Amino acid sequence: MIIRLFVCAFLATLLISCLYSFVQDRMELVAFYEKNLRGNLFAGLLTVGGFLLSLKTFILIKLKDNVYDHDKYKELFNEQKKLDSTIKLYDPLKNLSDFLFWSVLSTISAAIAQLTIGLFGSYYLTLFAIWISAFALAILICSMFLIKSSLDDWFKFINHPED
């Protein structure tokens, strides 16, 4: 999970370094951010963060019931446990839960940043507000892939219950 967070931070930093390198007029970027981005980022990030917060428990309970408590998954787990005795049955679900927590925290923090540091009109604070939004977006994309991999397992079990 730490590696995923670092990759997301790296991608956000890469975006900011491109902005820093290619923007000719700093105050034009600040004006564009204030006029076009700040409000939309606040609304979008707050909406996604709230949605994930309310949906997190439902996603995890459904995945636990339909994937991790499935007999076929337990068979696969027991085969893998023979190779590595340190793994635990619900570790992938715990990792997903932890990453969804970071997704919610990053999106709500990024939304708050739009209304706090984004209001100052400083070039560097504007870059930071954009950075935290890009970081939150990268974490959301990683969360989407983690959820997709769990759902793929679920669909395997649903479509092939006899396997």
Return d(Cα 97, Cα 155) in angstroms, integer: 20
The answer to whether residue 148 scores a pLDDT higher than 70 is: yes
Average pLDDT, the chain: 89
This prediction has a pTM of: 0.86
- For a pLDDT cut of 90, what percent of the chain falls above it? 53
- Residue 7: how many CB atoms within 10 A of its CB? 13
Confidence of residue 162 (pLDDT cuts 50, 70, 90): low
Query: How far apart are alpha carbons 110 and 40 in whole angstroms?
Result: 12
- What is the identity of the amino acid at 109? S
Q: Kindly write down the DSSP assignment for every residue of 39-102, as one continuous string.
A: HHHHHHHHHHHHHHHHHHHHHHHHHIIIIITSHHHHHHHHHHHHH-TT--TTHHHHHHHHHHHH
pLDDT tens digit string along 8-54?
A: 999 999 999 999 999 999 999 999 999 999 999 999 999 999 998 88
* Domain locations along the chain: 31-159
pLDDT level of residue 139 (50, 70, 90 thresholds)? very high
Predicted pLDDT of residue 75: 85
